[in-house]
Chains A and B, each alone.
Chain A
């Protein structure tokens, strides 16, 4: 159990999100400590991605709050119980410390690999170009794509694009990395190279929140597995316990189904 004076780096309290009549998140509570790796699993449509997108305020929660390292994200609580929207610059300042990796990579198509990586450090952090490029090259070495620095995203495989997208997020020196189904749109033979980069990131102690269907990765890397269904967290457990004997009935059904389709964890 973490000592009470240690402030969680991510704290989510009673988060609700609705899309029209659809109640996508129904009161999510979650705490993440620095360096923790959390894998969020669950059937599609359970609200996993929406939760991730609320954490960096790409989606605006209807109720509840998110704190990043103690700072409220997106809203400022006003005395008397209400809240108002935070300023754009405050939201942007917090976002800059949270890296996000998308299912569909979202590399900027009009920019080379190198330009993709240095864009935000230069235009958001205010780094000079030389420093940003040196850092980008180190990241490209790390993900094994230095020879692709001048290629455009459309010239790369999906796996390569996703590795560059991870490097792009890391270039901002984030305190937290959010992964939104990072391997779901990849051909099966390209999944491994992306997971390998994520593993090495985990070994370096990065705080990671990963929405994934890769149960092998979750059982190997996660400190905690969070099972979501129908907009609620139904189970939170260490991976060994979760995968061996899930307590929640729907979690057990979900795992059985996944194992039937993909083989054992």
Chain B
């Protein structure tokens, strides 16, 4: 089995265009999702039961249903309620919600990884809650947050392929366009897989470097202990 060159020169521009869209749509969705997730994660720790429950309910709802079904629902159900989007907007919306739910769990876990006493010491000197979160808890949770966030980011990118079912013009959709002209699914999907792999592997490598920088910047408890391995 070898991949025909003419096939590559024909298909690659279409697939690259699709992958560029995938990167664009995922980036927008993940930025929106992250902002939502910070709020929802904080709501999970709220004094008010209504906020806590709503936040948990949202996460459970997204986590316990297939992304494909969520995409169909947003695409077909919302217009019936009088809300009209084009496919791309619907896709970004549903992907944002999906990212928000998974990021929320990462952030929640990371907040819990910081010993409770850190927050209490900040509250005891009269520091307002959100300032204490920002100045005391957030900086100390990064070492825990980044690895799990990397997984979620990669998960969102892979899951975004399902948006092709509602005709969002992303990479998996581009593959179908290519197939419509030259029927060669094996070669086409090998190229698509390679493109996804390139993007996700790059992200993983970059995030790993960021993690290392965060962890070695200071002699915190998550870094190698000072003076250890002296022998």
Which A residues contact B (CB, under 8 angstroms)?
Answer: 56, 58, 88-89, 92-100, 102, 104-110, 119-120, 123-124, 152, 154-155, 165, 168-169, 172
* B124 in contact with A95 (CB, 8 Å): yes
Q: How far is the CB of A171 from chain B (nearest CB, A)?
A: 9
Q: Please, how many angstroms separate the alpha-carbon atoms of A155 and B136 in the complex?
A: 19
B60 on the A face (CB < 8 A): no
Q: Please, how many angstroms separate the alpha-carbon atoms of A11 and B218 in the complex?
A: 43
B210 on the A face (CB < 8 A): no
Q: Please, how many angstroms separate the alpha-carbon atoms of A100 and B125 in the complex?
A: 8
Q: Please, how many angstroms separate the alpha-carbon atoms of A88 and B132 in the complex?
A: 13
B127 on the A face (CB < 8 A): yes
* A106 in contact with B118 (CB, 8 Å): yes
Q: Please, how many angstroms separate the alpha-carbon atoms of A92 and B122 in the complex?
A: 10
Contact-residue bracket for chain B = 20 to 34
Q: How far is the CB of B114 from chain A (nearest CB, A)?
A: 9
Q: Which residues of A contact B125 (CB under 8 A)?
A: 95-96, 99-100, 119-120, 124, 168-169, 172
Which secondary structure dominates chain B's binding surface?
Answer: helix
Q: Which residues of B contact A102 (CB under 8 A)?
A: 117, 120-121, 124
Q: Which residues of B contact A107 (CB under 8 A)?
A: 121
B220 on the A face (CB < 8 A): yes
10 tightest CB-CB pairs across the interface, nearest first?
Answer: A96-B126, A106-B117, A106-B121, A120-B125, A95-B126, A100-B124, A92-B126, A110-B139, A124-B126, A152-B219
- Of the candidates A105, A109, A154, A172, the one having the most CB atoms from chain B within 10 angstroms of its own CB is A109
Interface string of B206-221 (1 = CB under 8 A from A): 0000000000001111
Q: How far is the CB of A173 from chain B (nearest CB, A)?
A: 11
Q: Please, how many angstroms separate the alpha-carbon atoms of A89 and B129 in the complex?
A: 10
Residue of A nearest to B128 (CB): A92
Q: Which residues of B contact A106 (CB under 8 A)?
A: 115, 117-118, 120-121
Q: Which residues of B contact A172 (CB under 8 A)?
A: 125-126
B226 on the A face (CB < 8 A): yes
Q: Which residues of B contact A100 (CB under 8 A)?
A: 121, 124-125
- Of the candidates B115, B127, B140, B225, the one having the most CB atoms from chain A within 10 angstroms of its own CB is B127
Q: How far is the CB of B140 from chain A (nearest CB, A)?
A: 5
